[in-house]
Structure 1
């Protein structure tokens, strides 16, 4: 069986989700007596933006990064205005042509999308071609934004019960919505968190390295927080050069591949609350300070963190007082343990339904691949 996973590089979250899904399906951690279609599967990850527009992809991604860094107001206005938009929105014809080429070249039996735009493109293709290829849309934030919804997704894998309910209110049949959590790599799930004699704090700003730039902030952290701190700047090389080797209690790193090791040895993570990062923290049982959530989906993720008591939202106000607030939390072992306990409860809940089980169920119930050429096409997108 051929499985395509469609993703993009808007930040690092979508790509990490795609890699996590591939890893889960490849490992196929079902009981031996159960059917497991992914054991014999050829699983391929496709960057949909690069495939669709190979000569423009780097400019699309660059523009997105610039928008997030410099003008989140405009991003949020667009996000909010389209949040409850009717689901009849259509990609352009060029998008259909490229999807048709991809399907023809790869001949997938099943498509999993972790990118809303890719899900729309597959849905558009299915409507025009009459294809029966099953489509799983995996939502990578705690959001029910209408961009994720279309008429030809067979299954939605969502991150929380709250999102499941919101999707149902928007007209998605409840039997098509599964609460799986947001995919993370297996190494976050299969290792024990370390216990430290001295507290450890991880600071990170996601793949784009969106962290405070003020030296005074880090100086106060180094002086006032009784913990060993690791600061990961991601791909923000300018910030890395600015901070590296400057503070006694802060070890500064750039982009790292073994981020799980840093989560698992930390007692607290201070980070932008992306969907993937939030679930990496959950599975490694590392309480979260959701740092300055500004993008609208970050605010939804931060609300999820606060509601489920796995951390709290943290807005920077005054460098000295911010450091004191962080110090007070890391010294409050009772509160930290409460957050960890809540994370353990969430982890247990998410084991009730896995993406592997959904793939097995879906592929058993639906014909794989192919096009029904005699079908009267529906142009509801």
Structure 2
């Protein structure tokens, strides 16, 4: 079996999911290739999407995302995104034809739209699996209804899937695929000592995401001024500027300051609580560790939806202007029962074995049957269906 995992660089989560799936499949003896679809098609396109994402999250992303959520679903009208990806899909076919995968996995909806177009035109024989990397459906997922399967973070998203137009048999509620090492339990004391922490002290882990998003310095100042006794590990991600500023600060409490690190599985095992922006991957890793979350500074759009999901299921608390982090810490330290209740809520939605479950499913797929090829006229008719035609 050969599996192609298509990703697109827009933040770090999609690529992390792709690597987790690749490691899981290779552990089962399955050949697996990762391809950043937009960078394969054009470096300029890849740079534009990656850089544009970083710019958008600081500007109009919330407004655009909300407008997409509110648009009327009409699969017979070509969106600008689908029209663009229709041309790109034909270029991507050069790779898929040569590699000839049995299964195509997509960790980003833009790659998913290209694959959906290829399925629409009968240009791939592969089984197709889409993966949600957030706790909600991106608005564009309604343009990728031809996928054989779509992996969702939880069973509770089935209603959303059906409203999007998917069938129940397409939905795989396996959880967001995370690095399999998060399924391996590490004793807290062992993890604390390995991280240079005092195992007898309460430990906070503060992560700002792969992009180093948020006002990290302001949050560290608030933690350092807290009346409660605890130690903190701060991970600034790729924000080297913030890390330099933190290292120049005179802090009263014990802080371990890190930039990018590949030891998050150990740090989450050592922590009692995590402070984080609500990215799909970091929150899934925290859920796997049964780690209560303090959510801060969500990226507008998809992270707003992650926040709603985690708050509604009792797995997190949210920092706001009127409910600042010192008041959340007061609740945690004065009322430890709140932590226990959050862990009980986490048990309802955590998926620590998400990657293994998905990879075992993929490895067991029947991939012998090839998709029927279409004539040029059939391809044209399929690409531009008439109103009232049923989607193939």
TM-score, normalised to structure 2's length?
A: 0.84
Over 3 Å counting, the alpha-carbon distance change for 1:315 and 1:373 in structure 2 is same
| 3-state DSSP of counterpart to 1:229 | strand
**Alpha-carbon deviation of 1:66?**
2.0
CA contact (8 A) 2:214 2:297 kept: no
CA contact (8 A) 1:6 1:48 kept: yes
Match of 2:282 among 266, 277, 284: 277
1:326 and 2:296 correspond: no
Q: Deviations over 1:105-129 (max 9, x none)?
A: 3211110001000010011122224
Corresponding residue for residue 58 of structure 1: 47
Corresponding residue for residue 36 of structure 1: none
Over 3 Å counting, the alpha-carbon distance change for 1:186 and 1:350 in structure 2 is closer
Corresponding residue for residue 63 of structure 2: 77
Q: Deviations over 1:94-144 (max 9, x none)?
A: 312222112123211110001000010011122224433211001111112
Match of 2:37 among 22, 36, 48: 48
Corresponding residue for residue 221 of structure 2: 219
CA distance in 2, matches of 1:143, 1:263: 24
**Alpha-carbon deviation of 1:331?**
4.9
Corresponding residue for residue 194 of structure 2: none
- Unpaired runs of 5+ residues, structure 1, are 29-38
CA distance in 2, matches of 1:330, 1:105: 58
**Alpha-carbon deviation of 1:14?**
0.5
Corresponding residue for residue 372 of structure 1: 373
Corresponding residue for residue 86 of structure 1: 74
**Alpha-carbon deviation of 1:59?**
3.3
| 3-state DSSP of counterpart to 1:97 | helix
Residues 198-347 of structure 1: pairs in structure 2 closer than 5 A: 198-215=201-218, 217-224=219-226, 225-246=228-249, 247-248=251-252, 249-317=254-322, 322-347=325-350
CA distance in 2, matches of 1:21, 1:251: 31
**Alpha-carbon deviation of 1:372?**
2.4
Match of 1:138 among 124, 128, 131: 131
**Alpha-carbon deviation of 1:303?**
1.5
Corresponding residue for residue 9 of structure 1: 9
Corresponding residue for residue 196 of structure 2: none
1:111 and 2:80 correspond: no
Corresponding residue for residue 88 of structure 2: 95
| 3-state DSSP of counterpart to 1:6 | strand
| 3-state DSSP of counterpart to 1:230 | strand
TM-score, normalised to structure 1's length?
A: 0.86
Q: Which moved more, 1:172-181 or 1:184-193?
A: 184-193
Match of 1:147 among 108, 122, 140: 140
Corresponding residue for residue 25 of structure 2: 25
**Alpha-carbon deviation of 1:316?**
4.2
**Alpha-carbon deviation of 1:53?**
1.7
Q: Deviations over 1:313-339 (max 9, x none)?
A: 222458xx5324324414533222222
Count of matched residue pairs: 362
CA contact (8 A) 2:295 2:319 kept: yes
Corresponding residue for residue 178 of structure 1: 172
Q: Deviations over 1:234-276 (max 9, x none)?
A: 1111111111252242222111122111111111111110111
- Unpaired runs of 5+ residues, structure 2, are 190-198, 384-390
Over 3 Å counting, the alpha-carbon distance change for 1:298 and 1:352 in structure 2 is closer
| 3-state DSSP of counterpart to 1:162 | helix
